[in-house]
């Protein structure tokens, strides 16, 4: 049985949802910027944003009464969002390496 959100917790749910959007955008943006410019400091900022995102997700899951299997889904989504930028970065880097290799003039 799904337990509805307590009306007293609606502000908390909206704040957590907004923090999820901001944390996710911060993580993705700072991660991409750190990789493009090869700056470790921006990568630390990306992980700080991810920590804020994870805290907001766990708060939202708690206030929205996501129990049982939903907790597994929440954890799976958090792990996926942590790993997705790494995979996307490696995929982009590999495809651009191949692209540069195919454009090289003969004899190089």
pTM of the model: 0.82
pLDDT score, position 27: 97
pLDDT score, position 98: 86
pLDDT score, position 102: 79
Looking at the domain assignment, is residue 106 inside a domain?
no
pLDDT score, position 3: 80
Averaged pLDDT, groups of 10, the chain, 108 residues long: 81 95 97 94 96 96 90 95 95 89 67
Range of the structural domain that residue 79 is part of: 8-101
Number of structural domains (the chain) is 1
Give long-range contacts, CB 8 A cutoff, 24+ apart: 61-70. 63/5, 63/6, 63/9, 63/12, 63/13, 63/16, 64/5, 64/13, 65/2, 65/3, 65/4, 65/5, 67/3
């Amino acid at each position: 049985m799904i337990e509805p959100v307590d009306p007293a917790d609606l502000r908390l749910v909206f704040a957590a949802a907004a923090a999820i959007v901001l944390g996710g955008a911060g993580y993705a943006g700072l991660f991409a910027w750190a990789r493009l410019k090869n700056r470790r400091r921006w990568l630390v900022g990306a992980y700080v944003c991810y920590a804020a995102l994870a805290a907001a997700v766990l708060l939202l899951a708690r206030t929205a009464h996501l129990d049982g299997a939903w907790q597994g889904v929440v954890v799976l989504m958090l792990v996926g969002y942590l790993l997705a930028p790494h995979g996307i970065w490696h995929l982009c880097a590999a495809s651009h390496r191949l692209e540069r290799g195919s454009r090289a003039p003969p004899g190089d």
